[in-house]
């Protein structure tokens, strides 16, 4: 096998399991000139799911020592009660470990090959995926802030085995790979051999189809990004409902998925796209329509569509006395901080909105309903639920977070050269 044409100049970190594929990958890279000098290293994830996990780790340590490659062993806890299955839970734990341990400029190198790509394509097809899903694994992709490279993606596993035997390599065999209760193992051990019997080039054909889908998805993505820019607002987490509703339904679904991806949210499920389409987008301007998933939510209010973490409202009866000499922690996260002044002249009370509050704004002599003031500022209802109110001992409202100040409090801040800063737990609108 020849050196890959897209060999990056950055330091490389190999995801090394000790199996055939990653053993060949590590050996191939070690054989290239200057790889060790450029910072080649490996990382082994100890999942703790098999009785031989410690022995596998010892094998990886010995192999890397013999090759002169630094190895990091990362032990992870695989959630047994995540509801997504052991295979998916282990994959998520492994990815999280990679993100934690990779250096800023390192490229993660994984040993997925053509057979893996064919299996992934077929699995995605069985789940009714569209072009993005059927593109399967990309040769270059992202894992959080890090680049991921799969240089073996066009190489059949038989070629890797021939290389390993020819170079006298030793590798591990995970007995769970024969357990056909896992979908991928069922395809690998039962379905793919049958397909190869009838169509010998099936792995290459599926991999080629995945490449065609990747090309199509890239073209679609360019248009998705352009349409997302058309419906965007100054806040990346907020879109215009009116602009979205002018898009075709199919394009709107893709734009919503791209939006969630760019915000770093979990992928929007198909049910979520349908619910947003049927319930959230067409909701009345004053309604509080919402779709929630995985601790996140897409909500409508007025002409806007908001996305972000879903926070339960704080206890309505919570209150605290505060003199401003130290940040005040708020229930559910967040804090109030007085900056530029040592403390208030007398203790003030901080609590949550109960409704019916009124405030005298700077430059005014009469009070206004705080609810209407916040509505005029465009503060969504779920943000208002988390808004801390600063009151005098007599109950007069001085401030609503750092969004609204009373005339007296505004004058005091100016005179003292101070500033009230509200750091909310819930995402704020720009």
- What token pair was written down for 37? 């000098």
Is 21 annotated for ligand binding? yes
- CA distances (Å), 5 to each of 1, 13, 95, 112, 385, in order? 12, 18, 26, 17, 56
pLDDT tops 90 at residue 385 = no
Buried b (16+ CB within 10 A) or exposed e, 15-39: bbbbbbbbbbbbbbbbeeeebeeee
pLDDT tops 80 at residue 425 = no
- What token pair was written down for 256? 């919503």
Confidence band of 80 (pLDDT split at 50, 70, 90) = low
Is 18 annotated for ligand binding? yes
Distance (Å, whole) CA 331 – CA 351: 10
26-54 tens-digit pLDDT? 999 999 988 888 899 999 999 887 888 89
Distance (Å, whole) CA 341 – CA 236: 34
Is 174 annotated for ligand binding? no
Question: Do you know the residue count of the chain?
Answer: 430
Residue 399's H or E segment, with its range, is strand 397-400
Is 370 annotated for ligand binding? no
| Residue 135 burial (C-beta neighbours within 10 Å; 0-12, 13-18, 19+) | buried
Is 39 annotated for ligand binding? no
Is 278 annotated for ligand binding? no
- Determine contact, residues 315/332, Cβ cutoff 8 Å: no
Distance (Å, whole) CA 133 – CA 38: 34
Confidence band of 426 (pLDDT split at 50, 70, 90) = low
Radius of gyration of the chain (CA): 28
Mean pLDDT over 375-400 rounds to: 91
Going along the chain from its start, the domains and CATH numbers come out as 12-209 (3.40.50.620), 232-309 (1.20.59.20), 319-424 (no CATH)
Strands 107-109 and 146-149, bridge-based pairing: parallel
Residue 72's H or E segment, with its range, is strand 71-75
What per-residue confidence (pLDDT) applies to 428?
A: 45
What per-residue confidence (pLDDT) applies to 332?
A: 82
Mean pLDDT over 138-157 rounds to: 94
Q: How far is CA 200 from the centre of its chain?
A: 39
């Amino acid at each position: 096998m020849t050196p890959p044409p897209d060999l990056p100049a950055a330091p490389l970190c190999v995801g090394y399991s000790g199996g055939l594929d990653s053993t060949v990958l590590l050996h191939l890279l070690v054989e290239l000139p200057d790889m060790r000098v450029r910072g080649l290293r490996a990382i082994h994830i100890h999942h703790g799911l098999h009785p031989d996990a410690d022995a596998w780790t010892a094998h990886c340590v010995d192999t890397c020592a013999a090759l002169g490659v630094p190895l990091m062993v990362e032990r992870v806890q695989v959630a047994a009660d995540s509801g997504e299955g052991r295979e998916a839970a282990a994959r998520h734990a492994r990815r999280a470990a990679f993100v934690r341990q990779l250096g800023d400029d390192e490229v993660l190198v994984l040993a997925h090959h053509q057979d893996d790509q064919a299996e992934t394509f077929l699995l995605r097809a069985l789940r009714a995926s569209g072009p993005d899903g059927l593109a399967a694994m990309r040769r270059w992709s992202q894992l959080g802030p890090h680049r991921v490279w799969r240089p073996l993606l066009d190489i059949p596993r038989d070629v890797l085995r021939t290389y390993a035997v020819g170079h006298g390599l030793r590798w591990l065999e995970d007995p769970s790979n024969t357990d056909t209760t896992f979908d991928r193992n069922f395809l690998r051990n039962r379905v793919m051999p049958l397909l190869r019997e009838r169509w010998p080039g099936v792995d290459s054909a599926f991999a080629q189809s995945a490449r065609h889908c990747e090309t199509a998805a890239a073209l679609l993505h360019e248009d998705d990004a352009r349409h997302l820019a058309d419906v965007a607002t100054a806040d990346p987490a907020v879109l215009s409902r009116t602009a979205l509703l002018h898009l075709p339904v199919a394009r709107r679904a893709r734009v919503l998925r791209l939006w969630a991806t760019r915000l770093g949210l979990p992928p929007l499920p198909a049910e979520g796209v349908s619910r947003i389409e049927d319930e959230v987008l067409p909701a009345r301007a004053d309604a509080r329509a919402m779709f929630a998933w995985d601790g996140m939510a897409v909500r409508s209010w007025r002409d806007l569509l908001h996305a972000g973490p879903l926070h339960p409202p704080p206890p309505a009866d919570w209150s605290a006395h505060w003199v401003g000499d130290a940040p005040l922690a708020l229930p559910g996260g967040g804090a109030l901080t007085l900056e530029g002044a040592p403390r208030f002249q007398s203790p003030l009370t901080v609590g949550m909105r109960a409704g019916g509050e009124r405030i005298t704004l700077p430059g005014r002599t009469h009070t206004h309903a705080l609810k209407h003031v916040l509505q005029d500022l465009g503060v969504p209802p779920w943000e208002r639920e988390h808004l801390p109110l600063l009151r005098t001992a007599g109950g007069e409202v001085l401030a609503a977070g750092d969004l609204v100040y009373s005339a007296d409090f505004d004058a005091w801040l100016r005179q003292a050269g101070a500033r009230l800063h509200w750091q909310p737990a819930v995402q704020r609108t720009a």
